[in-house]
Structure 1
Amino acid sequence: MAGERLRFDGWIAGVGTASGTRLVVGHWPRSPFGAFSDVMIEHPDGERVLLAPSRPVADFVAATYRFDRTEVVPVSVTGSVSRSGHMWIVEAGPLHLRLRAGRRTALGRLLTAVPAPLVRSPLWAALCDVPARLLMPGVRTLGRAGPGRREWYGARDLRPVLAADAVLDGVGLGPLAPLDPPVAFGFGSAPRTPALVRVTTTVEIGTARR
């Protein structure tokens, strides 16, 4: 039986750094919590940290994914869009991140043509899961989230991240690098090649385990 479905429309940026710290930024202009952004950090030793802008957002995200530590801090994503791509500036408590994404890829152009109702469908996510894993190891589009929760992703655009500069707790994390090893917040990782993905994410709560 289907449970309550909560839908988030926005962008996910996943980047690795030369230090081994990996960052996943969610920027959600439309969500059940209103507009917000959050950051998931995985350190080289495997410690997983969530930076969330409010306690309700932190509680929801921590119930959906796995973290060793959660911090409620101001989180903002500002940026600009041009013909050549996107520029983001992320401020999240101890983290300052600047990234530049290029023009959409050939796959990104195909994704923009997928109708919105299809993007939101769990059947579409299930159909895309196998090719996504083959094309981008570590990526999943459908799976179990926290207890009693199911989640699926519908990608709507894809752009490569070309450059990133991150400082965490006053220490530079080094140049942009692949997101490797995959992050372990949930059932799937962001792409190994740093990317900015427009996505519709649906979290279904109260689903019976099948």
Structure 2
Amino acid sequence: MPRTVLRFHGRIAGFGTGSGVRLVVGMWPRSPLGSFADVMVERADGHRILLAPSDAVAEFVGATYVFDEVRIVPVAYSRIGREITVTAGPLSARFTVGTISPLGRLLRLVPRGIATRPGWLRLIDPVARVLVPGARTAGSAGQGRREYYGVTSARAITGITATWDGDDLGALERLHPPVRFGFGSAPASPHIVEVVTTIVEQG
């Protein structure tokens, strides 16, 4: 049966805050939807929000993951040195990227051409669950689709400043409990990873 293969090239940053709000920021310079960024938010009470920059992104991401609320708002990011700034509707965040983490050094042992292949990611998914609790490399993307996370590099996030509707979200914390948007969470330790996300749609 013919398949459609969609690949998203970019970075994902995941971290918690002292207020209990947990954030996963996707920055995608190359994708089937063009260049865009989106933010997935889970509040301390478990309410899940998608901040998407367009109807097309909201429709695609909303069909792939699970949210209680979807907002279409301007989403932008920029990087100067080791600081990344993200604005998305009510959210304003700036976080500092550190050096390559032990996880990142481990990932570098796998050649990039292999690290992003769905077959490899399907094979190592059980290992990834043990090495990085909450993380997955393969799973369901909804509507009969399969999704694969090919992470090729990882750096620690060392500090944040973030507000929601002007209210301070607090200091940097672990991403705990794991977020519940899809089949897996980002690492509990605050990280930004380079990733190729592959979604395979059955024809």
Any idea what SS the aligned residue of 1:182 has?
A: coil
Any idea what SS the aligned residue of 2:50 has?
A: strand
**Residue 2 of structure 1 contacts residue 204 of structure 1 at CA under 8 Å; is this kept in 2?**
no
Match of 2:170 in 1: 174
Q: Report whether the alignment pairs 1:55 with 2:55.
A: yes
Of the structure 1 ranges 124-133 and 28-37, higher mean CA displacement relative to structure 2 is found in 124-133
Q: Report whether the alignment pairs 1:150 with 2:146.
A: yes
For normalisation by structure 1, the TM-score amounts to 0.92
- List runs of 5+ in structure 2 lacking aligned partners: none
> Matches of 1:50 and 1:149 in 2, distance apart?
20
What one-letter code is carried by the residue in structure 2 that aligns with 1:26? G
Q: Are the structure 2 counterparts of residues 120 and 2 from structure 1 closer, same or farther at C-alpha, using a change threshold of 3 Å?
A: farther
For normalisation by structure 2, the TM-score amounts to 0.95
Which of 115, 118, 129 lines up with 1:133 in the alignment? 129
Match of 2:7 in 1: 7
Match of 1:191 in 2: 187
Any idea what SS the aligned residue of 1:145 has?
A: strand
**Residue 140 of structure 1 contacts residue 188 of structure 1 at CA under 8 Å; is this kept in 2?**
yes
Alpha-carbon offset, residue 21 of structure 1: 0.5
Alpha-carbon offset, residue 106 of structure 1: 3.5
> Matches of 1:196 and 1:2 in 2, distance apart?
34
- For residues 49-101 of structure 1, the C-alpha deviation after alignment (integer angstroms, 9 at most, x for no partner) is 000111001100000000011111110110123xxxx3100000110000001
Q: Are the structure 2 counterparts of residues 106 and 180 from structure 1 closer, same or farther at C-alpha, using a change threshold of 3 Å?
A: closer
List structure 1 runs of 4+ shifted beyond 6 angstroms. Answer: none
What one-letter code is carried by the residue in structure 2 that aligns with 1:72? I
Q: Report whether the alignment pairs 1:165 with 2:161.
A: yes
- List runs of 5+ in structure 1 lacking aligned partners: none
**RMSD value over aligned CA atoms?**
1.4
Which of 115, 119, 126 lines up with 1:123 in the alignment? 119
**Residue 116 of structure 2 contacts residue 151 of structure 2 at CA under 8 Å; is this kept in 1?**
no
Any idea what SS the aligned residue of 1:61 has?
A: helix
Match of 1:87 in 2: 83
> Matches of 2:67 and 2:2 in 1, distance apart?
26
> Matches of 2:67 and 2:169 in 1, distance apart?
20
**Residue 93 of structure 2 contacts residue 163 of structure 2 at CA under 8 Å; is this kept in 1?**
yes
Q: Are the structure 2 counterparts of residues 132 and 2 from structure 1 closer, same or farther at C-alpha, using a change threshold of 3 Å?
A: farther
Alpha-carbon offset, residue 110 of structure 1: 4.0
- For residues 132-166 of structure 1, the C-alpha deviation after alignment (integer angstroms, 9 at most, x for no partner) is 21121100010012121110001110001100111
Any idea what SS the aligned residue of 2:19 has?
A: coil
Count of equivalent residues: 203
